[in-house]
Amino acid sequence: MKPAPFGYADPTSLDEALSVLESEGESAKVMAGGQSLLPLLSMRLASPTTLVDINRVPGLDAVVVGDDGVRVGALVRHVGLLHHAGAAAVQPLLARATANVAHPAIRNRGTTVGSIAHADPSGEMTSVLALTGGSVTVATPAGSSAVDWADFFIGPLETSVHGPAVVIDAFFPALPARTGTAFEEISRRKGDYAVCGAGVTVTLDHDSRVTSARASYISVGLVPEVHDLTEAVVGQSADTADWAAAGALARTLVDPDGDLHASADYRRLLVGVLTERTLARAAQEAQNR
Amino acid sequence: MTTKLMGEPVRRREDLRLITGRGRYTDDIGHGALAAAFVRSPYAHARITGIDVDGALDVEGVVAIYTYEDLAGPMAEPLPVLIPHPQLTAPRTGFPLARDVVQHVGEAVVMVVATDRYVAEDVCDRIVVSYEELPVVVGVDASRAAVHAVHADVPDNVAARHHQETGDVEAALAASPRTLSFTQYIERSACMPMEGKGVHAVWDADDSSLRVHTSTQASTSVRAAIAAKLQLSLEKVEVVAPDVGGGFGVKIVHPWPEELLVPMAAIALGQPVHWAEDRREHFISSAHEREQRQEITVGYDDEGRVTALDVRAWHDNGAYTPYGIIVPIVTATQLVGPYAVPVYRVRIDSVYTNTVIVTPYRGAGRPQGCYAMERTMDRIAQDLGLDRAEVRRRNLIGKDQFPYDHHLTFQDGRPVIYDSGDYEGLLDKLVALVGWDRAEERRAEAASRGKQLGIGMAMYVEGTGPGPYEGGHVQVLGSGKVLVSTGLTSQGQGHETAFAQIVAHELGVPIEDVEVTTGDTRRFGYAVGTFASRAAVMSGNAIALAARGVRAKALRIAAEILEADVEDLEIDEGVVQVKGTPGTAIPLRTVAVLSNPLRYAFDEAARQATQFAGPGDDSKPPVAVGDAPGLEHVDYYSPIRSTFASGAHAAVVEIDPTTWEIDVVDYAVVHDCGTIVNPMIVEGQVHGGVAQGVGGALYERMAYDSDGQLQNASFMDFLMPYASEVPDVVIDHQETPSPLNPLGLKGAGEAGVIPGTACIASAIEDAIGLRIAAMPISPTELYDLVRSPDAERVPAAIPGVPA
Amino acid sequence: MSVSTERTISVTVNGVPRETTVPVRRLLSDALRHDLELTGTHVGCEHGVCGACTVLVDGQPVRSCLVLAVQVDGKAVTTVEGLARDDGRGGEVLHPVQTAFRECHALQCGFCTPGFLMTMAAGLEARDQSTEITEDEVDEIVGGNLCRCTGYANIKKACRHAAGLMREEAQ
pLDDT for A282: 98
pLDDT for B674: 96
Residues of C within 8 A of B31 (CB-CB) are 34, 37
Domain check: are B456 and B474 in the same one?
no
Mean pLDDT of A198-207: 97
A261 touches chain B (CB under 8 A): yes
**H-assigned helices in B640-745:** 679-694
Tell if the CB–CB gap between C112 and B194 is shorter than 8 Å: yes
Domain count, chain B: 3
With a cut of 50, say whether residue B736 has pLDDT above it.
yes
Cα(B218)–Cα(B525) distance, integer angstroms: 11
Report yes or no on B206 lying in a domain.
Answer: yes
Output the DSSP codes for B114-177.
ESSHHHHHHHHHH-EEEEEE-----SHHHHHHTSS-SSTT-TT-EEEEEEEESS-HHHHHHTSS
Closest CA to B318 of B702, B756, B712: B702
- Average pLDDT over chain B reads 95
Closest CA to B519 of B541, B486, B557: B486
Count of helices and strands (H, E) across chain C:
5, 7
Residue B298, SS3? strand
How confident is the model over C123-145, as pLDDT tens digits? 999 999 999 999 999 999 999 99
CATH of the domain at B236: 3.90.1170.50
pLDDT for B342: 97
**CATH number given to C6-82:** 3.10.20.30
Domain check: are A193 and A221 in the same one?
yes
Domain check: are B220 and B316 in the same one?
no
Residues of C within 8 A of B245 (CB-CB) are 42, 44, 109-112
B-contacting residues in C 39-68 (Cβ below 8 Å): 39-47, 49-50, 52
Domain check: are B329 and B438 in the same one?
yes
With a cut of 80, say whether residue B322 has pLDDT above it.
yes
A172 touches chain B (CB under 8 A): no
> Shortest CB distance from A4 goes to which of B122, B722, B783?
B122
Task: Quickly state the pLDDT bin for B798 (edges 50, 70, 90).
Answer: low
Cα(B319)–Cα(B322) distance, integer angstroms: 10
Please state, as a whole number, how many other Cβ atoms lie within 10 Å of the Cβ of residue A164. 22
Which residues does A228 contact at the CB level (< 8 Å), separation at least 6? A212, A213, A214
Mean pLDDT of C160-166: 97
pLDDT for B777: 97
Cα(A98)–Cα(B33) distance, integer angstroms: 43
Tell if the CB–CB gap between B719 and A188 is shorter than 8 Å: yes
pLDDT for B62: 98
Domain region containing B551? 467-595+630-637
With a cut of 60, say whether residue B1 has pLDDT above it.
no
Cα(B514)–Cα(B505) distance, integer angstroms: 11
Cα(A198)–Cα(A272) distance, integer angstroms: 10
Report yes or no on B26 lying in a domain.
Answer: no
Task: Quickly state the pLDDT bin for C171 (edges 50, 70, 90).
Answer: confident
Domain check: are A105 and A16 in the same one?
no
Domain check: are A160 and A188 in the same one?
no
Residues of C within 8 A of A5 (CB-CB) are 5, 23, 25
Mean pLDDT of B718-740: 96
Domain check: are B531 and B416 in the same one?
no
| Burial class (CB within 10 angstroms; exposed 0-12, middle 13-18, buried 19+) of B572 | middle
Please state, as a whole number, how many other Cβ atoms lie within 10 Å of the Cβ of residue B563. 8
For residue B62, the Cα-to-chain-centroid distance in whole angstroms is 38
Domain check: are B37 and B130 in the same one?
yes
Report yes or no on A1 lying in a domain.
Answer: no
Closest CA to C97 of C121, C128, C61: C121
Q: What is the DSSP letter of A190?
A: T
How confident is the model over B551-590, as pLDDT tens digits? 999 999 999 999 999 999 999 999 999 998 878 899 999 9
Cα(B420)–Cα(B748) distance, integer angstroms: 15
Residues of B within 8 A of C143 (CB-CB) are 722-724
Please state, as a whole number, how many other Cβ atoms lie within 10 Å of the Cβ of residue B385. 12
Indicate if C85-170 has the same CATH topology as C6-82.
no
Report yes or no on B92 lying in a domain.
Answer: yes
| CATH, domain C85-170, list 1.10.3720.10, 1.20.120.400, 1.10.10.10, 1.10.150.120 | 1.10.150.120
Give the minimum alpha-carbon distance from B240 to chain C in angstroms, rounded to a whole number.
Answer: 16
Interface residues of B toward A, Cβ cutoff 8 Å, are 117-118, 121-122, 125, 278-280, 658-661, 699, 703, 711-712, 714, 716-717, 719, 721-722, 724-725, 778-780, 783-784
Task: Quickly state the pLDDT bin for B803 (edges 50, 70, 90).
Answer: very low
**H-assigned helices in B540-652:** 541-562, 588-594, 604-607
pLDDT for B802: 45
C142 touches chain B (CB under 8 A): yes
Domain check: are B238 and B125 in the same one?
yes
Q: Which of A135, A152, A173 is the last residue of a domain?
A: A173
Domain check: are B362 and B232 in the same one?
no
| Burial class (CB within 10 angstroms; exposed 0-12, middle 13-18, buried 19+) of B54 | exposed
Residues of A within 8 A of C1 (CB-CB) are 9, 11, 16-17, 19-20
Domain region containing A30? 7-56
Domain check: are B427 and B489 in the same one?
no
Cα(C116)–Cα(C109) distance, integer angstroms: 13
- Average pLDDT over chain A reads 96
Q: By percentage, how much of chain C surpasses pLDDT 70?
A: 99
Task: Quickly state the pLDDT bin for C91 (edges 50, 70, 90).
Answer: confident
Q: Which of B612, B637, B662 is the last residue of a domain?
A: B637
Angle between the B219-229 and B257-269 helix axes, to the nearest 10 degrees?
Answer: 50
Tell if the CB–CB gap between A104 and C46 is shorter than 8 Å: no
> Shortest CB distance from C113 goes to which of B19, B723, B729?
B19
pLDDT for B3: 59
Tell if the CB–CB gap between C105 and B681 is shorter than 8 Å: yes
Cα(B422)–Cα(C68) distance, integer angstroms: 57
Domain check: are B318 and B263 in the same one?
no
Closest CA to B663 of B782, B794, B791: B782
Mean pLDDT of A256-283: 97
- All structural domains of chain C with their residue ranges: 6-82, 85-170
The pair phi, psi for residue B626, each rounded to 5°, is 85, -10
Residue C46, SS3? coil
ipTM over 0.90? The verdict is yes
The pair phi, psi for residue B346, each rounded to 5°, is -135, 135
Domain check: are A36 and A68 in the same one?
no
Tell if the CB–CB gap between B118 and C23 is shorter than 8 Å: yes
Q: Which of B637, B669, B699 is the last residue of a domain?
A: B637
CATH of the domain at A48: 3.30.43.10
Query: Lowest-pLDDT range, A104-113, B514-523, B600-609?
Result: B600-609
Q: Are B315 and B351 in contact (CB under 8 A)?
A: yes
CATH of the domain at A276: 3.30.390.50
Q: What is the DSSP letter of C36?
A: S
pTM of the model: 0.96
> Shortest CB distance from C3 goes to which of A50, A104, A105?
A50
pLDDT for A97: 95
Q: Are A116 and A125 in contact (CB under 8 A)?
A: yes
For residue A204, the Cα-to-chain-centroid distance in whole angstroms is 24
Domain check: are B386 and B500 in the same one?
no
Residues of B within 8 A of A270 (CB-CB) are 659
Report yes or no on B63 lying in a domain.
Answer: yes
Radius of gyration of chain C, Cα coordinates, nearest whole angstrom: 17
Closest CA to C110 of B490, B724, B497, B243: B243
With a cut of 80, say whether residue B797 has pLDDT above it.
no
Question: C152 in the Ramachandran plot: left (φ > 0), alpha (ψ -120 to 50) or beta?
Answer: left
Tell if the CB–CB gap between B279 and A263 is shorter than 8 Å: no
pLDDT for B599: 85
Which residue of A lies nearest to C44 if distances are taken between CA atoms? A1
How confident is the model over B613-645, as pLDDT tens digits? 877 778 888 898 889 999 999 999 999 999 999
C110 touches chain B (CB under 8 A): yes
Which residue of C lies nearest to A50 if distances are taken between CA atoms? C3
CATH of the domain at B478: 3.30.365.10
How confident is the model over B203-221, as pLDDT tens digits? 999 999 999 999 999 999 9
Domain count, chain A: 3
Closest CA to B180 of B64, B88, B300, B85: B300
A vs B, Cβ pairs < 8 A, gives 65
